[in-house]
Amino acid sequence: MPSPSQFVIIDCSQIDGQYTTDLGNQENFQKFAQDLGDGLSSSGFVYFINHGVSSTTFEEVFQQSKQFFELDSDIKIKYKKVDPAKNFHGYTPPTSEEIANESNKASRDFKESFSFVGREICGANYPSETPHLRQSVLNFHHAMSSFSKKVMLALGLYLKLDDPEFLLKHHKSLDGLLNPDIHPWIDIRSNSYLALDDEEIASLPDDALRLTEHSDWGTLTFLLQDNVGGLEAKITDKCGDNIWVSVPPIAGSILLNSGLMLEMWSGGRFHATAHRVRLIKERAKEVRQSLAWFVAPDGDTRVNMLVDKKQGYVWSHTYPPPGNESASEYFQERIKGIYATRYKY
């Protein structure tokens, strides 16, 4: 596995402990904020190590999710999303999110997933066949909320916002999903990329993908991945060319990347870097698991630039920039557009 030399690795032992409002005054936290901002500004991705989230916390979600994905299809389908634009919580079967890819037509959506979204995270709508899944997800939400708040504060400090807690104040769901005054869009998504047989592997080209190129819509994505590999990011090299580089697993780490909302808020300083999952044929017979914590603004938030636009910055994404509507409206339009025109559902 190649070394992640293109990406900053941040040791979080310097900011160990729970989030408190006076963190921003501590010298070690200010260094963390500088390292984080520099890393995201450089590539849109950073690794966190010694982050304080117990490995048991996310291993439990992996294990409980695996038990669900190993159920018969006729059982899993009972939990399929009915109307994703209205409620994104639920199961997504293989090929349901198959995106047309003109440059890689042989690629397939080789995954299934379960999304635990918003207030449903605290609800009862979990598969009865995996009774411990709900508690594992709740434990993960609690641990990641505390860590995410530190990251949000650090970004506010790096951007030199008048109110360093501005981002936190527009992500109230990190403090409680049941607040009736907010529409939370936090999404915990467990992905299982299917193991392929010899015939399936032989039919695919060397550049086949398990998940095609995309950028995340929200503010931040925290990702945990197993050791199978395949994740790649599109970065700009020293010659100004876009190239794909491996984002390999680092045991025990959490990988962070910027989303569209943070790119807009930061005036283009934190680019929502495109990424994909390549099929590594030598490991295609193995299931690949990943666990994503998608942090998004509260539903009524309108996202506009908080700082001066980065010199030379232009919005370069297929999706329109946010700001003309609330975060809820923006996400619903993206979901409707994709499921109506690009996905088989």
* Residues 37-82: tens digit of each pLDDT: 999 999 999 999 999 999 999 999 999 999 999 999 999 999 998 7
Q: Which two tokens stand for residue 37?
A: 């901002």
Q: For residue 98, what pLDDT is reported?
A: 56
| Tokens 């009915």 belong to residue | 82
Q: Which two tokens stand for residue 196?
A: 């392929």
Residue 85 has pLDDT above 70, yes or no: no
Work out the percent of the chain whose per-residue pLDDT is above 70: 90
List the domain range (segments joined by +) for residue 68: 8-341
- Of the pLDDT bands very low, low, confident and very high (cuts 50, 70, 90), residue 121 is confident
Residue 36 has pLDDT above 90, yes or no: yes
Q: For residue 224, what pLDDT is reported?
A: 97
Distance CA 86, CA 307 (A): 33
The answer as to whether 223 is a domain residue is yes
Residue 345 has pLDDT above 90, yes or no: no
Paired sense of beta strands 220-225 and 187-193, if any: unpaired
Q: Which two tokens stand for residue 292?
A: 């994503």
Q: For residue 100, what pLDDT is reported?
A: 46
The answer as to whether 1 is a domain residue is no
Distance CA 32, CA 46 (A): 12
Q: Which two tokens stand for residue 195?
A: 């193991």
Segment holding 250, helix H or strand E: none
Q: What value does the mean pLDDT take over residues 185-196?
A: 92
Overall pTM surpassing 0.85 (yes/no): yes
Residue 141 has pLDDT above 50, yes or no: yes
* Residues 316-342: tens digit of each pLDDT: 998 889 988 998 888 888 877 666 544
The number of beta carbons lying within 10 Å of the beta carbon of residue 333 is 14
Q: How far apart are the first and last CA of the chain?
A: 35
Work out the percent of the chain whose per-residue pLDDT is above 90: 65
Q: For residue 274, what pLDDT is reported?
A: 96
* Residues 259-272: tens digit of each pLDDT: 999 999 999 999 99
Q: For residue 344, what pLDDT is reported?
A: 47
Q: For residue 73, what pLDDT is reported?
A: 95
The answer as to whether 146 is a domain residue is yes
The answer as to whether 2 is a domain residue is no
Question: Of residues 238 and 302, which shows the higher confidence score?
Answer: 302
* Residues 143-175: tens digit of each pLDDT: 999 999 999 999 999 999 999 999 999 999 888
| Residue 107 belongs to domain with CATH number | 2.60.120.330
Q: What value does the mean pLDDT take over residues 206-214?
A: 90
Residue 102 has pLDDT above 50, yes or no: no
The answer as to whether 292 is a domain residue is yes
Residue 105 has pLDDT above 60, yes or no: no
The answer as to whether 256 is a domain residue is yes
Distance CA 146, CA 138 (A): 13
Q: For residue 108, what pLDDT is reported?
A: 66
Give the number of domains in the chain. Answer: 1
Q: Where are the beta strands (DSSP E) in the chain?
A: 8-11, 45-49, 90-92, 111-117, 187-193, 209-214, 220-225, 231-236, 242-246, 254-258, 275-278, 288-295
Question: Of residues 80 and 118, which shows the higher confidence score?
Answer: 80
Distance CA 345, CA 331 (A): 18
Residue 4 has pLDDT above 90, yes or no: no
Alpha carbon of residue 153 to chain centroid: 19
* Residues 221-277: tens digit of each pLDDT: 999 999 999 999 999 888 888 999 999 999 999 999 999 999 999 999 999 999 999
Q: What does the DSSP assignment read for 98-165?
A: PPP-TT-TT----EEEEEEEGGGGGSS-S-TTSTTHHHHHHHHHHHHHHHHHHHHHHHHHHTT-SSTT
The number of beta carbons lying within 10 Å of the beta carbon of residue 134 is 18
| Tokens 């639920």 belong to residue | 90
The answer as to whether 198 is a domain residue is yes
